[in-house]
């Protein structure tokens, strides 16, 4: 009994020990890739006095000076053949000003002589992806306009509330208002069925626009024309215009009646906002597309073809 157990343990140890030793050996051989933070120290220790180019210049000092300068954003990344450093520039002018002469540095354990350093002093052809240094332009947010989204469906405030809200938004730095009325808009004629019981009147809309003008706030109405049309498609008069008859969220683009409804809604909205520079048409979160039975008759090539047509 004892001999069997001893033999079994010896056999397991004989199998596991070589595997463990092999794993440690592989880790040791690839230590520079696994622990890149030690690269600069290791290179400086072993090659500081040995790497010179053909003109006798100490290349190691060039590398140390190059990478000791902190960029605006400093990105370290490993490639399949070495270790490189990337920068994220605020603008293109700074990118040109700080255009690097040294674009790529091989792994330290491959530094046998100065000829293995790739020093770029002139325009180079396009390099493989792993050698390229990406540069991203950052948007100047000072030139952007700041619109506040007023989502009025469900529980819209009274007009008097805007007398306090608009000056406060202006003080915070807002430039405009993105107003999504939905059923709070005073639709008329055959669209009056869309109105909420406490919807704004035409005079209310005029007061809101006047208050916005007094506070130097631009107004951009938002009228959804594809998704988020629950307040329309939930009504029995328009249920047949659903893209998927089970859900009231998306209107079908495959029926001519859908466009007549949307264009009439747009016309009434524009009539109440005669001087607006922009109209937001939504189109976000359209979860069901081209599933209406009539869509098969229009022979759409793909979903992109829907917007191109």
Write out pLDDT tens, residues 262-296.
Answer: 999 999 999 999 999 899 999 999 998 999 999 98
Domains and CATH numbers, the chain: 144-307 (3.20.20.80)
Q: What pLDDT score was predicted for residue 146?
A: 93
What is the C-alpha to C-alpha distance for residues 296 and 39, in angstroms, rounded to an integer?
Answer: 61
What is the C-alpha to C-alpha distance for residues 259 and 253, in angstroms, rounded to an integer?
Answer: 8
Q: How far apart are the first and last CA of the chain?
A: 83
What is the C-alpha to C-alpha distance for residues 26 and 18, in angstroms, rounded to an integer?
Answer: 12
Q: Which two tokens stand for residue 27?
A: 């880790």
Helix (H) or strand (E) holding 75: strand 74-78
Q: Which two tokens stand for residue 183?
A: 């059923």
Q: Which residue has the tokens 């055959």?
A: 190
Q: What mean pLDDT do residues 229-235 have?
A: 96
Q: What pLDDT score was predicted for residue 276?
A: 93
pTM value is 0.56
Q: What are phi and psi of 72, to 5 degrees?
A: -65, -45
Q: Which two tokens stand for residue 134?
A: 């990406």
Q: Which residue has the tokens 């120290």?
A: 41
Q: What are phi and psi of 191, to 5 degrees?
A: -95, 0
C-alpha separations of 97 from 55, 90, 283 in Å: 26, 12, 42
Task: State the pLDDT confidence band at 302, using cuts at 50, 70 and 90.
Answer: confident
Residue with the larger pLDDT of the pair 133 and 306:
306
């Amino acid at each position: 009994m004892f001999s069997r157990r001893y033999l079994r343990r010896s056999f397991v140890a004989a199998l596991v020990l070589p595997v463990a030793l092999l794993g440690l050996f592989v880790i040791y051989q690839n230590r520079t890739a696994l622990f890149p933070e030690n690269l600069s120290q290791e290179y400086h220790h072993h090659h500081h006095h040995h790497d010179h180019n053909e003109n006798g210049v100490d290349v190691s000092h060039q590398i140390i000076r190059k990478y000791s300068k902190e960029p605006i954003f400093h990105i370290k990344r490993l490639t399949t053949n070495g270790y490189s450093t990337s920068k994220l520039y605020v603008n293109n002018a700074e990118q040109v000003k700080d255009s690097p002469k040294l674009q790529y540095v091989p792994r330290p354990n491959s530094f046998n002589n100065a000829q293995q350093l790739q020093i770029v002093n002139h325009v180079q052809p396009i390099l493989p992806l792993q050698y390229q240094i990406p540069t991203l332009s950052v948007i100047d947010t000072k030139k952007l306009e700041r619109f506040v989204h007023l989502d009025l469906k469900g529980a819209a405030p009274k007009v008097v509330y805007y007398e306090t809200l608009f000056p406060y938004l202006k003080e915070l730095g807002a430039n405009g208002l993105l107003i999504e009325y939905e059923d709070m808009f005073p639709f008329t004629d055959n669209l009056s069925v869309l109105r909420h019981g406490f919807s704004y009147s035409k005079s209310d809309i005029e007061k809101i626009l006047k208050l916005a003008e007094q506070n130097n706030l631009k107004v951009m109405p938002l009228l959804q024309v594809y998704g988020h049309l629950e307040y329309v498609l939930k009504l029995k008069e328009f249920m047949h215009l659903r893209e998927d008859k089970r859900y009231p969220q998306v209107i079908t683009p495959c029926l001519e009646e859908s466009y007549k409804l949307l264009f009439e809604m747009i016309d009434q909205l524009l009539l109440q906002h005669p001087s607006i520079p922009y109209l937001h048409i939504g189109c976000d979160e359209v979860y069901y597309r081209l599933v209406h039975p009539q869509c098969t008759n229009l022979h759409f090539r793909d979903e992109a073809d829907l917007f191109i047509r």
